[in-house]
Amino acid sequence: MKAKDGSLNWFARPTFSMLTGEPGLYSRYSDGIILEASHFLLRKRSLLRFFHGKIFAIDPRTPIFQAMNRCFYDQRTERIRTSYLKLAKLHGEPFVGKFLEDIPVSPEDFSPDVCKRISSEVMELENSADPQILLPPYFVIEGSSDPWFEVGLRIYEEMSAYASNVYLPLAISRQLLGDIDGLKSICHELSRKDIPGFAIWPVGFDEFNSTLSELMGLEYLLDSLPETRVLLYAGYFSILLCAITGASFSNGPCFHEKRDMTIAPPLEFRPRCRYYLPLLRQKVDPVAALVFYRTLADLGIRPGLCEACERNTLGNGYEGIAEMPEIDIYEHNFISRRREVDELSNSRDPFDLGLEDLRSLLDIQKDLSHFRSMKHLTTWIDALEKLSTKAHNRY
């Protein structure tokens, strides 16, 4: 279960309100679990019962306290979410006082004594889950000269003084992700430190709407940081980059391929579950999946359905896809992602495999007019071709 250099491991992030049978899917298909600290604080006993021995890490997710926003409030009651209030109380001051007054924390709030106390409290919570690694509190950074970068290193050093399995989380702003020189400065600074691993969160990154420079920046970060790397984000292209660079990844099974501070996992409400279309490498509404399968049928193409889909289409045809119970959509998404991970892991050259796959998808896009713009394919292919040139020049 433990992430190792060169291995493509998938660490799933459970939803907040799990369905009956959902925990078993995480244990069956993923390589481990990463839990949000606020989720763990609320449901510690049940989560330990479900995932004992499978927890890779507890994510403190402290960047949310840098940017106070509506994600703290339950959309149904307009009251502060209990999970975030517990998270603030775990960290103590300055988090609690500023949280209750809707004031973001600042680097000046983190004296050496505060960093020491916070790291101790968080480490105690995480150790109670018996995780494979520890993640200290961390914050979004804009560059190596950003005061938040120094705060994050200070808290990391406090925690790593008491444990050897502490990874350094890096929450990279979207602006920084597209700045290769800025990323080089950070990687140079970190290469001089003895850090066993990194957990990377590209904040606000959305691979379907990313620029070429952002994709190249993500690859540079994954390829340049030493030791083990876990990407706290995953759509298909990002997983492909992980396979190419020898990193692992973490994501949830059903909702979105975007992680920002304005999106609030753990989910204390359940949006409509989204269905993963392996051929398109994206999640869509189940009704859109039905339209897609009908389009394939008109083209004379028979999709390879997983066992969860076959159960629902038996006797119903493709209409059964639009009516699938959420737990079956979950199972389909897990099966599809597991197949992708295994295919990339077993490939001698995931780079060529991914490039061939994307070019094939680009060729058939003219027949998929019902679906959203697929301009991202051109950007993804451009990024892979640039990486090919980069690798050629290196050798």
Q: Is 94 in contact with 71 (CB distance < 8 Å)?
A: no
Neighbours of 153 (CB within 10 A): 18
Neighbours of 74 (CB within 10 A): 15
How does pLDDT run across 159-183, given as a tens digit for each residue?
Answer: 999 999 999 999 999 999 999 999 9
Spatial neighbors of 144 by CB under 8 A, at least 6 apart, are 182, 185, 186, 188, 189
How does pLDDT run across 348-390, given as a tens digit for each residue?
Answer: 999 999 999 999 888 877 767 666 567 899 999 999 999 987 6
CA distance 281 to 258: 14
Residue 324 identity: M
Helices and strands (DSSP H and E) totals, the chain: 17, 10
Q: Is the pLDDT of residue 116 over 90?
A: yes
Q: What's the pLDDT at 395?
A: 39
How does the average pLDDT of the chain come out, rounded?
88
Please list the helix, strand and coil fractions of the chain in percent, rounded to the nearest 5, in that order.
Answer: 50, 10, 35
Q: Is 203 in contact with 217 (CB distance < 8 Å)?
A: no
Question: What are the structural domains, with CATH classification, of the chain?
Answer: 10-251 (3.20.20), 275-394 (no CATH)
Q: What's the pLDDT at 4?
A: 39
pLDDT band at 17 (very low <50, low <70, confident <90, very high): confident
Q: What is the reported pTM?
A: 0.91
How does pLDDT run across 253-269, given as a tens digit for each residue?
Answer: 654 555 555 544 444 44
**Percent of the chain residues past pLDDT 70, beyond the cut:** 87
How does pLDDT run across 180-236, given as a tens digit for each residue?
Answer: 999 999 999 999 999 999 999 999 899 999 999 999 999 999 999 988 999 999 899
Q: What's the pLDDT at 300?
A: 85
How does pLDDT run across 50-95, given as a tens digit for each residue?
Answer: 999 999 999 998 988 887 666 666 666 667 778 888 999 999 888 8
